[in-house]
Amino acid sequence: MFESVPVSVPAPGKTTLDSMLPTSILPTVIPVAPGLSGAPDLPIVPIIPTPHATAAVRNLLYIAQAPNEALVTYLKSLGWKVSAGSLATQASVLKTDTPVAGIVDMTSFSARELTALEPALRHQRAGWIALTDDTHLADPVVCHLIRHFCFDFVKGPFSHATIGYLVDHAYGMVSLGDIDLADTPTVFGDEQMVGTCEAMQQLFRTIRKVANTDANVFITGESGTGKELTAVAIHERSPRRKGPFVAINCGAIGNHLIQSELFGYERGAFTGANQRKIGRVEEADGGTLFLDEIGDLPLDSQVHLLRFLQERKIDRLGGHDPIAVNVRIISATHIDLEAAMAAGRFRTDLFHRLCVLRVDEPPLRARGKDIEILALHVLHKFRSDGRRKIVGFAPSAIEAMYSYAWTGNVREMINRVRRAIVMAENKLITADDLGLGHCTGIESTTLAAARDAAEKRAIELTLLRHRHRLAEAAAELGISRVTLYRLMVAHGLRGAAMVTGADA
Ligand SMILES: Nc1ncnc2c1ncn2[C@@H]1O[C@H](COP(=O)(O)OP(=O)(O)O)[C@@H](O)[C@H]1O
Ligand SMILES: [Mg+2]
């Protein structure tokens, strides 16, 4: 209630997660949505309009059996555009896409009527204040509605000034979330690609440049960093955008099947080949073929793929005449292909054919503030999955998101936030809801150890951001290259740098 003053300021957090897209269940054909493919550039647009654009009118919905006229007059004098009355007559206020402050007079409704108000109270753009009394507070339905859907409550006798203060606050809270989201740049209509940090901006620039050529592209990055999303982005901005985008996961198909899957077969080519099957390469004719997890392609298939890349013709199994196919190949892997080549598991000549242009996906832990932006983006996208109205992330969650390593990257972020949306007990997602309770808390430590850890982390992240280009990283850190090298050795980062560098 009011004595406790509303406190739940949604931290400016943002996140990511990905279990819902069947992108890795391959083989997959992703048809290109015609409406998305026209733009030659990657538009950086806000997910939703900023609240400032519509801030002139501040709507206030006051739901009561008999609205208090004096209160309405007072609220109007504060500049609110007040819509007072039953929900049935005033619901249109909630249909706009702008923030709305709400007052619900719970003393004037029965428990059943109140339950019927739940969808309105759940509305993501409305910030509610409940007017109630001790009798109603004894009712579990009322408590449930207040706890999960209202910013605060006031017990009678009601002070107009208190209500005026609280609605202002509730309105500010719902607008706050939008300001955070408005910072979030995106790439697609359906599939938004979030990224504001320098590494992501660099990636967007690379995507634009690469899309304009027809050369083969090789994408590296840890699992879940957005390699497939990038491949689709390149295709959709390329001159081939009207053609098909065909994705195949080379790691998900058994060795014996991969050739027929890639190149197809003629009827009668082998026992059970009852009819002709067109392979994935041929399916992609005129478009883009995305070979995911190319590092898992068996050596004999590598030979066939290489021959195709040289001759631009395929042979269906059991076929007689080679068939010309015109595809652009984008390949991706999360493994260290240089190491695979050194070990003889991947053909160097094939690699050079595939890797004409190279795109590196930065790991999530190196994206700084984008960690929060992505978290909020995912929350915005999926928050209607939850039973409760979730307005943001608690400080513990933000802290945990920054200290966690995110080895599963954006995909893991999406999974954790989606789970948290369902599991959260309150309006703010906590570190525990994210399953990251262990990443918070001030550990007792000496100042020297804290400095040491901070130094290591700063170096690690700077190296990641600069793709292990030591001169650039040293310049950003304000130290010499020699000093950086010495510190990397001291912190045990040299080995890691070399491994990641090769992979990147
Ligand atoms: N920058 C991003 N912004 C928003 N969502 C992203 C971003 N990068 C990846 N995702 C999402 O994360 C998930 C994993 O991306 P994906 O391209 O499949 O990763 P990878 O192929 O590298 O494993 C997908 O659901 C994708 O839409
Ligand atoms: Mg993938």
Ligand 1 atom showing the smallest separation from residue 191 Cα = 27
239 touches 378 (CB < 8 A):
no
pLDDT at 504: 29
pLDDT at 413: 97
Ligand 1 atom showing the smallest separation from residue 414 Cα = 12
Level-2 CATH architecture, domain 364-439: Orthogonal Bundle (1.10)
Closest residue to atom 24 of ligand 1, CA basis: 18
68 — alpha (psi -120 to 50), left (phi > 0) or beta? beta
CA of 222 to the centre of ligand 2 (A): 9
460's tokens: 């690690």
Nearest by Cα to 288 from 40, 43, 30, 33: 30
Specify the CATH number for 51-182; select among 2.60.40.1250, 3.40.50.2300, 3.40.50.1370, 3.40.50.150: 3.40.50.2300
Q: Which ligand ends up closest to the CA of 294?
A: 2
Three-class secondary structure of residue 290 per DSSP: strand
Cβ-in-10-Å burial (0-12, 13-18, 19+) of 7 comes to exposed
> Residue 383: is its pLDDT beyond 90?
no
> Residue 477: is its pLDDT beyond 50?
yes
CATH number corresponding to 198-360 = 3.40.50.300
* Per-residue confidence band for 177, with pLDDT thresholds at 50, 70 and 90: low
> Residue 30: is its pLDDT beyond 80?
no
Mean of all residue pLDDT scores within the chain = 80
Containing 342, the helix (H) or strand (E) segment is helix 337-342
pLDDT at 5: 30
CA of 224 to the centre of ligand 1 (A): 6
Q: Which residues form the pocket of ligand 1, taking CB atoms under 6 Å from any ligand atom? A: 16, 18, 21, 23, 191-195, 221, 223-229, 410-411, 414
Query: Rounded to whole angstroms, how far apart are CA atoms 272 and 322?
Result: 22
pLDDT at 56: 67
Ligand 1 atom showing the smallest separation from residue 226 Cα = 17
Mutate to test the pocket of ligand 1, among 187, 229, 414 (most ligand atoms within 8 A of CB): 229
108's tokens: 């004037």
CA of 289 to the centre of ligand 2 (A): 14
pLDDT at 41: 36
Pick the range with the lowest mean pLDDT from 94-98, 139-143, 238-242.
94-98
195's tokens: 């990224």
Q: What are the pLDDT digits (tens) for 300-354? A: 889 989 999 999 999 888 888 899 999 999 999 999 899 999 999 999 999 999 9
CA of 421 to the centre of ligand 1 (A): 19
pLDDT at 52: 37
